[in-house]
Chains A and B, each alone.
Chain A
Amino acid sequence: MSTPDPDPIPGQPTDAAGPAPRSIGQRLVRAVALLVLIAIAIVVLFLWVFPWVEERTQDPTLGGAEVVQASLAPR
């Protein structure tokens, strides 16, 4: 009869070959990096991507406002 292995201790590697646990500092850096990435993504989406999509799907003007203005200017 063999006895089952005891439960792994939280925070301790279960296998000698497994990854080393991350320190709180490393986790903090990862979380901040992730938040920065998300913030950049939101800014890019709202400043460039969404307006670009909107221009191509929701523009009710003729040839875009600039073309219209240019065509109407010399009156």
Chain B
Amino acid sequence: MARVVRGVGWTLIVAGAVVLLYVVYLLWFTNFETNRAQNDLAQDWSLTVPGTQDPATPAPDDPEPEPEQIDPGDAYAALWFERDGERIVNDDVLYVVAGVSLDLLRAGPGHYPGSDRPGGAGNLAIAGHRTTYGSPFWSLDELQDGDTIHVMDRQGREWTYAYREQQIVRPQDVWVVGDDPLESGAPTITLTTCHPRGSARERLIAFGELIEDPIESTAGADPFTAPLPGEASGGGTDPDDET
């Protein structure tokens, strides 16, 4: 009898340790994994994507580039959010990978295969983790009217979407990543993440609509050297001047 009790006790201790280690892995180590993947994607992006172009004013002789075949897991787009010229939701530019399998989403937000391209006439749908794996969409619920969602495609064109609304839906409500979820007829972006935080019971959805006449991005022509929140959005600010 004593052996059985001792065995059960050890089993519970080991099980508790495993659960604890798993939680530590989820909350800490997954962030390292994603940061490393994002750094790799940034490197790939800087080598393969040309400088920013204004999507509203394409060069007259510049034909529409052929859609590029992007393998699952490769950098599909860059994504960031702004409010009054300052980054929100995430301090860093998020590199979006092609595909939304859980494996691929370890590297960062993912583009739903089959949804439209950035700047397309349909719906550009992107999924991202709310918690763990860098928590790219941790603060997605803080978006409000007037905020903008910026997407740069692999041709270096920046597309700006105006935030419209957010909804809490069930996991099976796939209509939100359909062609025209807002039934507005306008090109749309749909961002999906878990809700509530730490649970996949529901999904938080943020919608935006493409701004036909994009406002000038106050993040500057190059989002990757854009000022971080708290820095002056105008040019010429020396980071060392921050107090």
Binding site for B on A (CB under 8 A): 45, 50-51, 53-65, 67-69, 71-73, 75
Contacts of A71 in B (CB 8 A): 174, 177-178
Q: In the complex, how many residues of chain B place their beta carbon closer than 8 angstroms to a beta carbon of chain A?
A: 36
**Quick check: A60 and B192 within 8 Å, CB to CB?**
yes
Which of A51, A55, A62, A73 is within 8 Å of B172, CB to CB?
A62
Q: Does B54 contact A (CB under 8 A)?
A: no
A46 to B112 alpha-carbon distance, docked (Å):
26
Contacts of A56 in B (CB 8 A): 200
Q: What are 29 A-to-B residue pairs whose CB atoms are below 8 Å?
A: A45-B18, A50-B22, A53-B22, A55-B200, A57-B198, A58-B129, A58-B194, A59-B102, A60-B129, A60-B194, A61-B105, A61-B192, A62-B172, A62-B174, A62-B176, A63-B174, A65-B100, A65-B102, A68-B114, A68-B174, A68-B177, A69-B113, A71-B177, A71-B178, A72-B113, A72-B114, A72-B115, A72-B177, A75-B114
Of the listed residues B133, B169, B171, the one surrounded by the most CB atoms of chain A closer than 10 A to its CB is B171
Which of B102, B114, B137 is within 8 Å of A51, CB to CB?
B102
Q: Say whether, besides A69-B114, A72-B112, A72-B113, A57 and B174 are in contact (CB < 8 Å).
A: no
Prevailing SS type, chain A contact patch? helix
A71 to B200 alpha-carbon distance, docked (Å):
20
Contacts of B128 in A (CB 8 A): 60
**Quick check: B194 and A59 within 8 Å, CB to CB?**
yes
A-B contact count (CB 8 A): 82
Taking the nearest CB of chain B, how far is it from the CB of A58, in angstroms?
A: 6
Q: Does B101 contact A (CB under 8 A)?
A: yes
Q: Say whether, besides A63-B172, A65-B101, A68-B177, A57 and B114 are in contact (CB < 8 Å).
A: no
Taking the nearest CB of chain A, how far is it from the CB of B120, in angstroms?
A: 12
- List of 5 A-B pairs having minimum Cβ-Cβ separation, nearest first: A72-B114, A60-B193, A62-B174, A60-B127, A71-B174
Taking the nearest CB of chain B, how far is it from the CB of A51, in angstroms?
A: 7
Contacts of A69 in B (CB 8 A): 113-114
Contacts of B114 in A (CB 8 A): 68-69, 72-73, 75
Q: Say whether, besides A45-B18, A50-B22, A65-B100, A60 and B176 are in contact (CB < 8 Å).
A: no
Contacts of A73 in B (CB 8 A): 114
Q: Does B203 contact A (CB under 8 A)?
A: yes
A71 to B172 alpha-carbon distance, docked (Å):
11
Of the listed residues B22, B128, B130, the one surrounded by the most CB atoms of chain A closer than 10 A to its CB is B22
A73 to B174 alpha-carbon distance, docked (Å):
13
Nearest B-chain residue to A72, judged by Cβ: B114
Taking the nearest CB of chain B, how far is it from the CB of A6, in angstroms?
A: 26
A7 to B44 alpha-carbon distance, docked (Å):
72
